[in-house]
Amino acid sequence: MDNTIVALHGVNDLRVEYLPVPEVDRDEVLIRVTKVGLCGSDLCAVYKGTHGDLRIGLPCGLGHEAAGVVTKCGQDVTHVKPGDRVTIEPGTFCRTCELCLTGKHNVCANSSFHGSPRFYPGCLARYYKHKALFVFRLPDSISDEEGAVVEPLAVAVHACRRAEVWAGCRMLVTGAGPIGLLCLSVAKALGATNILITDIKDSRLAMAKRMGADHTLLVTSEDTQCQVQQVQQIMGCQPDITMECSGTKAGLSLGIYVTKSGGKLVQVGVGAPEVTVPLGVYRYVNCFPIAIDLLAKKLVDVKPLITHRFNFEEFQKAFDMFRSAEDGAIKCMISKFTIANIRCSKDFTSHHDNPMVRLFK
């Protein structure tokens, strides 16, 4: 019996292919696929030939949001059996590197994401084999269609974990596509309140209201500061958490500007490989006592950093040296603040517009 699959052979070039039904290894299962959900990454692959910074390898398998029925198990598989309804975690990992062994297999350098630009075939097939460790049995209360949405739902769960969503937190979600709507749903389940979701399409915002959004905002202006004002006016506050699910530079910029100081911004949507965003650095907090203690206990030696020393009158020379980094300058130290001498200095007193004269008069 042939295994019918859908494969991508080029931009907007989808083809039906017939392959042999795959044989399973001892740690794999064969699944008769019943439902496959389409993801935004599938659209990017088909119509753009890219996904984020990945170029599509051809032919490319499609489909990674799937559910089905186990038809065959390898000899080492014990947690599922033929006839079980299952869903598939599409990522597989080496399980031997440091990251895998410490529970961070999602960033394993040797991972494979099935149904992605670099894996062929995908789940959009009659039969599909997968490592049994990443196959999960579905309870009777969950339909196959719901089971095929477990993968994007897991994305939302991960995003909410990273944001550390708490009961009563106030949240902005940018982008009301499937991932944004699922982030909304998971956040609501975790107790988030006062949730505003934005999009450029009314139909998606209507769905967001159905799924429990407290507020919606149709984005019509490209002015980020205008959007900031709209969000704050609607929510009555700055959000504690922003989930950026649109994958756009505009959504990321809005999140950076509108999220409250000390809040959290989680980038969920996949967009362009590179974007320019307004990042800045704020000051330390509650660190002076520790810094003093490190010096007092001689655990940190800062003396080698101080490479050049200047008297107060030499401030211009100190700035020039520090700027040029000449003569190995790392930290320039100014001392001997002889204010009285500066008052009498002919160079300073003869120029009333000099800011140093105004400072010490």
- CA within 13 Å, CB half, 27: 4
pLDDT at 140 over 90: yes
pLDDT at 256 over 80: yes
pLDDT at 61 over 90: no
Distance, CA of 7 to CA of 322 (rounded, Å) = 59
Range scoring the smallest mean pLDDT among 218-227, 249-258, 337-346 = 337-346
Confidence class for position 356, pLDDT limits 50, 70, 90:
very low
Distance, CA of 51 to CA of 58 (rounded, Å) = 13
- Cross-strand bridge partners of residue 17: 5
Range scoring the smallest mean pLDDT among 4-18, 138-152, 342-356 = 342-356
Neighbours of 94 (CB within 10 A): 14
Confidence class for position 277, pLDDT limits 50, 70, 90:
confident
pLDDT at 345 over 50: no
Q: Which tens digits make up the pLDDT trace of 202-224?
A: 999 999 999 999 999 999 988 99
Confidence class for position 361, pLDDT limits 50, 70, 90:
very low
Distance, CA of 198 to CA of 246 (rounded, Å) = 9
Confidence class for position 1, pLDDT limits 50, 70, 90:
low
Q: Which tens digits make up the pLDDT trace of 27-38?
A: 999 999 999 999
pLDDT at 58 over 50: yes
β 331-335/306-311 pair status? parallel
